[in-house]
Amino acid sequence: MTLLKQALRSMWRGRKSYLACIVLMAVGIATFVSFNQLFANLTAAMESMYTGQRFADAFAAVKEIPLSAVKRLEEVPGVARVDATIVTDARILDDTTTKIVTLRIASFDPAAPQRLNDFILDEGALPTDGGILLGNGFAAANGLTVGDTLSAVLDGRKLELTVTGIVQSPEYVYVIPDASTLFPDDRTFGFAYMEASRLGTLTGKTGSATNLAFQLEEGVAFSSVQYALEDLLAPYGLRSLYDRKDQPSHAMLKTEVDSIGSMSSSLPLMFVFIAVIILYIMLKRIIEQERMQIGTLKAFGFGDRAILGHYLLYGAVTGLAGGVVGLALGLLMTDGMSSLYLEYFKLPAIRVPPNPLYLLAGLGLALASGLAGALMGTRSILRLDPAEAMRPPSPPAVHRDIVGRIPVLRAILASHGYMAMRNITRNRFRSAFVVLGMAFAFALTAFMASMGELFDDLLLSQFTKAELFNLKISLNTYVPYGEALESGYSFDGVRKAEAALELPVGLRNEHLSDAVAITGIPSDSALYKLYDSDKRAVVPLPGGGMVVSSSVAENLKLRRGDTVTVTTPYTGNREFSTTVLDVVNTNLGGAAYMQLDSLWELVELPPAVSVIVLDAENPAAIKKALTDADNVAAVMDNAETMQTYVDLLDSYMALIYMMQLCGTGVAFVIITNTASISLSERKREYATMRVLGMHPREIGRVVGFEYWVLSALSLPFGILLTRLFKESMGGMIDNDLFSMPVYTAPSSYAMAAVFCGAAVLLSNLLAGRRIGRFDMVEVLKERE
């Protein structure tokens, strides 16, 4: 009981330092709990949607295949079921916007039992007489309800489509038109369902299909049926065949869920680690200050275990307090984070009850971390015998006076500066701790400050550095190169027109394979550039070979100079070989690039293109003219797309600001707490200096100079830590769709330096006030 009372009194005296440890521990545990609970919620919602609606294992798109031929696909060993649908895009006529509004309509057979990729009917009824079932995101964004009518252009024919129901679909959990689109825009793109008989009549494809969904037998991998399906589908104009993992909606959802799962363990450890270090330093200081008391307790018969348990109590109380606060905060954060994710992922709002395992693990992590920090700081107790402990420790011997061996320092430094430099070099462990704390605070602030710039690197640089056109027209079928250019220049106000070829291919390097799109760009292109985000520069596109993105190179283990095998369904999956000329980091996922002439030559295609890009004075007029164009699959206005991304990111900014505020708050706690611990360690030293006649302001200048020097020393380590943070985070979230840039802008470093400088300045002011209030007699008597 005596030791318990002593522990509580000691913790109350140092409550500010312990509170800092509790805050850091609480942030770490809150992150652990909230991310794990969010991971459980999203995983449960995804599995519920996929299982209940029978989400397919593989997908294919063809030009057209008779329904009679679909049955033969089920004879492929490993294929359990094939569902065939018609999928086509309709242009929605909307006078309230200049944007191209597209609705992707898929057919369904109401009489078919247990359909693959079945929809969930949220409200309304199945369509009759040509009505449609509309996706819930598109309906909400455009203010549409059951009974409303849409004007649309489908295959050049104007239609009035009546909404009979609102649905969700496992194919459109993340509603994007293709994998090249990073963020959904429910205002301009959505999905819908129409009865197969009606859609077949409208498209002229009655008795045939354009899209296939495959259910594989249990335990069968896609790779084991891929080549057989390719051979069977090739005569029907195979456009793509891919595994579930490459389905755009699923790929985005799975990437996000996996990233959350990775961060749920690594991110909290960052905060817990620094809390353990601070707790270790604090208790080490307490042991040194209470050395004589420990010796007295040992002399009176208290054993090592009792004394060790006394000091472990400090860590246990700190860890438990941080754990309890962190659990409560984490559970509160989970609902808000789940709601934010459900704005982008159209999943059932499933809330999994908090898993007791996560809660116990979080509490156990906090307790274990507190005990670990305490144990590291107190293990020296066991080596003290009573006689040694009751004597003050001998001052450490100075074997090498580094400062004294540099005469120039004596010449350029005033007395307080010289004293500060000697303190730094003679107390290397303490100085290293201060540098580490400041470097961590700097890195945390710089990392959080750079989060806003992350989106500029990921998105805006694509539109300002690489895609210099303002309109991109994607075609349904390939057209001759000259005809495409002529069409591009036929519009009024076109300053520059170019044509490119986007060709879906399979790349293989030995046993490794990947499905990507090769973009063929004219060698003299002025509108389409190749931008390397690591080099932060436009790089040339050489001829005679291929340039691949870093994610493709990593997936296929490719390096510059390697040979890669190329196949494409547009040439009957014949194999071609080419050389990897370069690897670039594009941030926006897997891609490959070739000069247009080289691509035609490689796959033995005539000069044909699938994309027209324009630099035009009046994009809105051109888009209006293309509203009912038969061969136009999509029209992208770069300015509108970029603004859409910016608007969508506004909802993320609150989260980013919260993260920045949290990061800077934690950094401030680290710096001020580090300074407080250092001041407590040297209280006797400063009191002695006052007894010798130094004014508190003079001592304050010594302390201030020392901390400014240590701050300067921490900057290079802080910059290094910032990069390590980004590389670590990038390793958790990098995927085939996008990668996290490791570059940090100078403005983020400058912001971190200003903040840390302000924290050091405040710490110096507080230290000066505390030094002025020292009771010199009491301080000097502490060890007696």
Sequential DSSP letters for 561-609: T-EEEEE-GGGTT-EEEEEEEEEE--SS-S-EEEEHHHHHHHHT--SEE
Query: Average of pLDDT values for 660-669?
Result: 65
Instruction: Give the mean pLDDT of 529-552.
Output: 84
As a whole number of angstroms, the distance between CA 44 and CA 347 comes to: 10
Distance from C-alpha of 709 to C-alpha of 424, rounded to nearest angstrom = 9
- 675: pLDDT confidence band, cut at 50, 70 and 90? low
CA distances from 162 to 7, 129, 147, 311 (A): 74, 9, 6, 73
Q: pLDDT at residue 736 above 70?
A: no
The top-scoring range by mean pLDDT among 65-69, 275-279, 375-379, 685-689 is 65-69
Please state, in angstroms and rounded to a whole number, the distance separating the CA atoms of residues 780 and 778: 6
pLDDT at 277: 73
Checking if the pLDDT of 335 tops 90, the result is: no
Structure tokens at 706: 């020392």
Please provide the DSSP assignment of 221-268 as one string.
-THHHHHHHHHHHGGG-EEEEEEGGGSHHHHHHHHHHHHHHHHHHHHH
291 close to 381: Cβ distance less than 8 angstroms: no
Strands 120-124 and 132-135: unpaired
| Higher pLDDT pick, 403 / 71 | 71
**Partners of 764 in the β-ladder:** none
Contact 82, 214 (CB under 8 A): yes
Position with higher pLDDT, 98 vs 232: 232
pLDDT band per the 50, 70, 90 thresholds, residue 340: confident
For the chain, percent of residues with pLDDT exceeding 70: 78
pLDDT band, residue 84 (cuts 50/70/90): very high
Q: How confident is the model at residue 350 (pLDDT cuts 50, 70, 90)?
A: low
Please enumerate in sequence order all residues whose Cβ is within 8 A of that of 162, keeping only pairs 6 or more positions apart, or say none. Answer: 127, 129, 130, 131, 132, 147, 148, 149, 150
Distance CA 370, CA 275 (A): 8
Distance in angstroms (rounded) separating the CA atoms of residues 122 and 349: 13
Which stretch of 310-319, 348-357, 595-604 has the lowest confidence by average pLDDT? Answer: 348-357
Could you write out the DSSP letters of every residue in 669-738?
Answer: HHHHHHHHHHHHHTHHHHHHHHHTT--HHHHHHHHHHHHHHHHHHHHHHHHHHHHHHHHHHHHHH--SS-
How far apart, in whole angstroms, are the C-alpha atoms of residue 310 and residue 299?
16
Confidence band, pLDDT 50/70/90 cuts, at residue 164: very high
CA dist 763 and 668 (Å) reads 10
Contact criterion met (CB below 8 Å) for 145 and 139: yes
Q: CA angle 74-80-81, nearest 5°?
A: 65
**Mean pLDDT estimate for the chain:** 80
Task: Answer yes or no: are the C-beta atoms of 562 and 545 closer than 8 Å.
Answer: no
* Token representation of residue 476: 């349904």
pLDDT category at 171 given cuts 50, 70, 90 is very high
Residue type, 354: P
Q: What backbone phi and psi angles, to 5 degrees, belong to 385?
A: -95, 160
- Residue 103 vs residue 11, higher pLDDT: 103
Closest by alpha carbon to 710, among 439, 505, 387, 490? Answer: 439
- Beta carbons within 8 Å of 142's beta carbon, 6+ residues apart: 94, 186, 187, 190
Tell me the average pLDDT across 726-738: 61
List Cβ neighbours of 576 (8 Å cut-off, separation of 6 or more).
Answer: 565, 566, 567, 602, 603, 604
Of the candidates 233, 223, 244, the one whose C-alpha atom is nearest the C-alpha of residue 62 is: 233
pLDDT of residue 311 exceeding 70: yes
* Sign of the CA dihedral with 531 first, then 536, 542, and 548 last: negative
User: Could you give phi then psi for residue 134, rounded to 5 degrees?
Assistant: -105, 140
Residue-wise pLDDT tens digits, 527-539: 888 888 777 788 8
Average pLDDT over residues 621-634: 78
Does residue 783 surpass a pLDDT of 60? no
Higher model confidence: residue 520 or residue 630? 520
pLDDT of res. 680: 66
Tokens 């995804």: give the residue.
Answer: 46
The per-residue pLDDT for 236 is 87
Q: What does the pLDDT look like over 115-158, one tens digit per residue?
A: 999 999 999 999 877 789 999 999 998 889 998 999 888 877 88
pLDDT category, 552, cuts 50, 70, 90?
A: confident
Cβ(760)–Cβ(670) below 8 Å:
no
pLDDT confidence band for 76 (50 / 70 / 90): very high
| pLDDT exceeds 70 at position 408 | no
Report the range out of 300-304, 350-354, 413-417 with the highest average pLDDT. Answer: 300-304
| DSSP three-state, residue 139 | helix
Determine the Cα–Cα distance for residues 514 and 242; give it in Å rounded to an integer.
10
Residue written as tokens 């749920």?
264
Nearest-angstrom CA–CA distance, 636 and 189? 12
CA angle 69, 72, 73 (to 5 degrees): 100
Comparing CA positions, the residue from 21, 11, 45, 24 lying closest to residue 329 is 24
Measured CA to CA in angstroms, residue 161 lies from 126, 307, 549, 749 at distances of: 14, 80, 42, 54
Contact 681, 452 (CB under 8 A): no
pLDDT higher than 70, residue 357: yes
Alpha helices (H) along 609-637: 619-625
User: Is a pLDDT exceeding 70 seen at residue 777?
Assistant: no
Of residues 760 and 141, more confidently modeled: 141
- Note the pTM of the prediction, 2 decimals: 0.73
Which has more pLDDT, 339 or 316? Answer: 316
For residues 296-304, give the mean pLDDT: 73
* Window from 172-176, 570-574, 757-761 with minimum mean pLDDT: 570-574
What is the per-residue pLDDT for 262? 75
Of 202-211, 371-380, 497-506, 559-568, the poorest mean pLDDT is in 371-380
Please check the confidence at residue 478 and state whether its pLDDT lies above 90: no
Q: Which residue did the predictor score with more confidence, 357 or 783? A: 357
pLDDT, residue 1, reads 58
Q: What is the DSSP code string of 727-755? A: HHHHHHH--SS--------HHHHHHHHHH
Q: Determine the Cα–Cα distance for residues 616 and 769; give it in Å rounded to an integer.
A: 66
Q: Provide the CB-side half-sphere exposure for 413 (13 A, CA).
A: 20
3-state secondary structure of 783: coil
Q: Which residue has the higher pLDDT, 18 or 613?
A: 613
Tokens 């995983």 correspond to 43
Residue 721 scores a pLDDT above 70:
yes
Contact 583, 549 (CB under 8 A): yes
Which of 498, 520, 497, 512 has its CA nearest to residue 591? 520
Beta bridge partners of 520: 501, 594
pLDDT per position as a tens digit, 236-284? 888 888 899 888 889 888 888 887 877 777 767 777 777 777 777 767 7
pLDDT band at residue 623 under the 50/70/90 scheme: confident
Residues forming a β-bridge with 503: 518
Neighbours of 733 (CB within 10 A): 16
The single-letter code of the amino acid at 538 is V
Secondary structure (3-state) at 114: coil
- As a whole number of angstroms, the distance between CA 84 and CA 529 comes to 39
What pLDDT, on the 0 to 100 scale, is given for residue 731? 60
